[in-house]
Amino acid sequence: MKMHSHLPFAALLLVSLILYAAPAAGLLRLAQADDRYSHTAFMPLLAAAVVSLQFDRSGRFPRLAPPLAVAFLMGSAGLRVATASSSLTIQISALVAVWTGAFLICYGRAALKTAGFSVLLLLLAIPPPVALMDRISAILQSVSAAFSHELFRLLGVPVFRQGNTLALPGLTVEVAEQCSGIRSTVALVITGLLAGYFLLRSPSARLALVLATALAAILKNAVRIVFLSSMAVYVDEGILHGTLHHSYGGTVFSLVAVALIAPVLWILRRAERTASHLPVSGGS
Which of 97, 127, 157 is the C-terminal boundary of a domain?
127
Check residue 284 and give its pLDDT: 41
Please count the structural domains in the chain: 2
In a domain, residue 284? The reply is no
Bridge-partner residues for 172, per DSSP? Answer: 167
Residue 168 CA to residue 158 CA, distance in Å, equals: 6
- State whether 110 and 136 are in the same domain: no
Check residue 269 and give its pLDDT: 93
In a domain, residue 282? The reply is no
Which domain, by its residues, includes 266? Answer: 131-276
- From the number of C-beta atoms within 10 Å of its C-beta (0-12, 13-18, 19+), residue 156 rates as exposed
- Rounded to 5°, the CA angle 49-199-219 comes to 95
For residue 278, give the 3-state DSSP assignment.
coil
- State whether 166 and 205 are in the same domain: yes
In a domain, residue 283? The reply is no
Check residue 233 and give its pLDDT: 81
Check residue 244 and give its pLDDT: 56
Helices and strands (H, E) in the chain, number of each type: 12, 3
Per-residue pLDDT of the chain in tens (284 residues, 90 and over written 9): 555 567 888 888 888 888 888 888 899 999 988 888 999 989 999 998 888 876 644 444 444 445 445 545 555 555 554 444 458 898 899 889 889 888 888 888 888 888 889 999 999 999 999 889 989 988 988 998 999 999 999 988 899 999 889 998 888 888 877 767 788 889 899 999 999 999 999 999 999 999 999 999 999 888 888 888 888 888 777 766 666 555 555 667 788 888 889 999 999 999 998 887 666 555 44
- State whether 64 and 144 are in the same domain: no
In a domain, residue 281? The reply is no
Which of 93, 127, 161 is the C-terminal boundary of a domain?
127
187-205 CB burial, b ≥16 within 10 A, e <16: bbbbbbbebbbeebeeeeb
Backbone angles phi, psi at 162, to 5 degrees: -135, 105
- State whether 45 and 99 are in the same domain: yes
- State whether 168 and 267 are in the same domain: yes
Which of 110, 127, 144 is the C-terminal boundary of a domain?
127
Residue type, 226: V
CA dihedral 176, 177, 179, 184 (to 10 degrees): 170
Check residue 53 and give its pLDDT: 79
Check residue 265 and give its pLDDT: 94
- State whether 203 and 136 are in the same domain: yes
- State whether 135 and 118 are in the same domain: no
- State whether 92 and 146 are in the same domain: no
- Return the biggest CA–CA distance within the chain: 74
pTM over 0.85: no
Residue 228 CA to residue 239 CA, distance in Å, equals: 7
